[in-house]
Amino acid sequence: MTELLIRNACVFDPLNGIRGDVMDIAIRDGRIVESVQNNADVIDASGFLTLPGGIDSHSHVCGTKVNFGRYMSPEDMRAGRTARRGKMHVTSGYYVPTTYGNSYRYSTMGYTTVLEGAMAPLEARHTHEEFNATPLQDMLANTLFDGNWSIMEAVHAQDVKRAAAIVAWTLSSVRGFAIKLTNPGGTEAWGWGGDLTGIRDPVPNFNVTPAEIITTMIEANELLHLPHSVHLHCNNLGKPGNYATTLETFGLVPDLNKNRQTLYATHVQFHAYGGSTWRDICSKADEITKSVNAKPQIVMDMGQIMFGRTMTMTADGPMEFNLYCLHHNKWSNHDVELETGSGIIPVLYSKKSLVNCVMWAIGLELALLTKNPYQCLLATDNPNGAPFVKYPEIIGLLMSKRYRDEECATLHDGIDQRTSISSIDREMDWNEIAIITRAGQARALGIAAQGKGHLAPGAEADLAIYPIRCDDVDPATEYRKVVEGFQKTRFTIKRGRVVARDGDVIVDGANTTFWVNPTIPDEHNVANDPEFVKKFEEYYTVRMSNYPVQDVYLPRGRCIKTEADI
Domain boundaries, the chain: 3-51+453-505, 144-156+177-449
For the segment 140-153, what is each residue's pLDDT rounded down to a tens digit? 999 999 999 999 99
CB 47 within 8 A of CB 57: no
Quote the pLDDT of residue 86.
87
d(CA 379, CA 386): 9
pTM of the full predicted structure? 0.97
Closest CA to 121 of 535, 487, 547, 560: 547
d(CA 214, CA 278): 28
CB 203 within 8 A of CB 185: yes
For the segment 168-200, what is each residue's pLDDT rounded down to a tens digit? 999 999 999 999 999 999 999 999 998 899 999
302 CB neighbour count, 10 Å cutoff:
29
pLDDT at 259 over 90: yes
Answer with the residue of higher pLDDT: 104 or 321. Answer: 104
Q: What is the mean pLDDT of residues 444-468?
A: 98
For the segment 354-371, what is each residue's pLDDT rounded down to a tens digit? 999 999 999 999 999 999
d(CA 176, CA 191): 25
Quote the pLDDT of residue 372.
98
Quote the pLDDT of residue 327.
82
pLDDT at 89 over 90: no
CB 214 within 8 A of CB 151: no
Q: What is the mean pLDDT of residues 510-535?
A: 95
Label residue 510 by pLDDT band (50, 70, 90).
confident
pLDDT mean across residues, the chain: 96
Q: How far are the Cα atoms of 143, 403, 446, 491 from residue 260, in angstroms, in the given order?
A: 19, 33, 7, 31
d(CA 359, CA 297): 25
Strands (E), 14-46: 18-28, 31-33, 41-44
Find out whether the peptide bond into 383 is cis, omega within 30 degrees of 0. Answer: yes
Q: What would the DSSP string read from start to end of 435-460?
A: IIIIIHHHHHHT-GGGT-S--STTSB
Length of the chain: 566
d(CA 57, CA 413): 34
Answer with the residue of higher pLDDT: 107 or 328. Answer: 107
Quote the pLDDT of residue 87.
84
Q: What is the mean pLDDT of residues 438-453?
A: 98
Strands (E), 89-235: 111-119, 138-144, 178-182, 230-233
d(CA 341, CA 118): 10
**What letter does residue 91 receive in the DSSP assignment?**
B
CA 140 to chain centre: 10
Q: What is the mean pLDDT of residues 502-523?
A: 94
Within 13 Å and on the Cβ side, how many CA atoms surround 507?
17
Label residue 83 by pLDDT band (50, 70, 90).
confident
pLDDT at 1 over 80: no
Label residue 509 by pLDDT band (50, 70, 90).
confident
Torsion of CA 412, 280, 377, 7, to 10 degrees: 10
Quote the pLDDT of residue 13.
98
d(CA 391, CA 261): 24
pLDDT at 22 over 90: yes
Q: Number of helices (H) and strands (E), helices first, in the chain? A: 19, 24
Closest CA to 45 of 479, 464, 445: 464
CATH topology of domain 3-51+453-505: Urease, subunit C; domain 1 (2.30.40)
Q: What is the mean pLDDT of residues 435-457?
A: 98
d(CA 450, CA 136): 17
**What letter does residue 528 receive in the DSSP assignment?**
G
107 CB neighbour count, 10 Å cutoff:
29
pLDDT at 463 over 80: yes
Q: Phi and psi of 19, rounded to 5°? A: -130, 80
d(CA 444, CA 377): 9
